[in-house]
Amino acid sequence: GRTVNSNLDIARVCQSVAEVLGRLMSFDRLVITQSIADGARFRVVHVTGVPVDGADLGTALMPLVTTQVGLAREDGCVLVGDLTPELLDHHPGLRSSGLRAWMQIPVGPAGEPLAYVSLRSRQQDAYTEQDLALSKEIALQIAPAFRNAAILKELEKRVADRTTDLSVSNAAKTM
């Protein structure tokens, strides 16, 4: 947690998280998404492993918890042992990937997550309740990094907006 939270570069934070999770459990695909401005969609900020059509770096996605599938638990986590036809209909890119098991964990409060960490495996029932509990602990530790990165991004936007305003004002004075 300390290593992850000492960095405001979200790409490096995600890389650190992927390395830690890779040492603790196996996965064929890891996706980390971060909340974008509207709060309902999440942008893919890190992908490792098996490619899935329509879920590449930079893609905006609706998290599984907001779909009609309704698999999310009260804590916002998802644990799926084998993808059903209904799930595959909601995520058609998964059909060709061969991914079967899915674990998704919110980063931050379940009602308003800052991000999601999603691990997927080609092996049926690859993830257990114990894996989910460990992943939730990791998500708790990395939440401040995502919060700090969002604050930094907002501050940078304010500075850029203010700089533009000042430039316009100065240009008007010189005329």
The three state secondary structure string of the chain is: CHHHHCCCCHHHHHHHHHHHHHHHCCCCEEEEEEECCCCCCEEEEEEEECCCCCCCCCCEECCHHHCCCCCCCCCCCEEECCCCHHHHHHCHHHHHHCCCEEEEEEECCCCCCCEEEEEEECCCCCCCHHHHHHHHHHHHHHHHHHHHHHHHHHHHHHHHHHHHHHHHHHHHHCC
Quick one: which of 115, 105, 94 has its CA closest to 49? 94
What digits encode the pLDDT tens for the residues 154-163?
777 788 888 8
Mean pLDDT computed over 37-66 = 78
% of the chain with per-residue pLDDT over 90? 23
Lowest mean pLDDT among 84-93, 116-125, 156-165: 84-93
Q: Looking at the chain, how many residues does it have?
A: 175
How far is it, in rounded angstroms, from Cα 3 to Cα 5? 6
Single pTM value for the model: 0.78
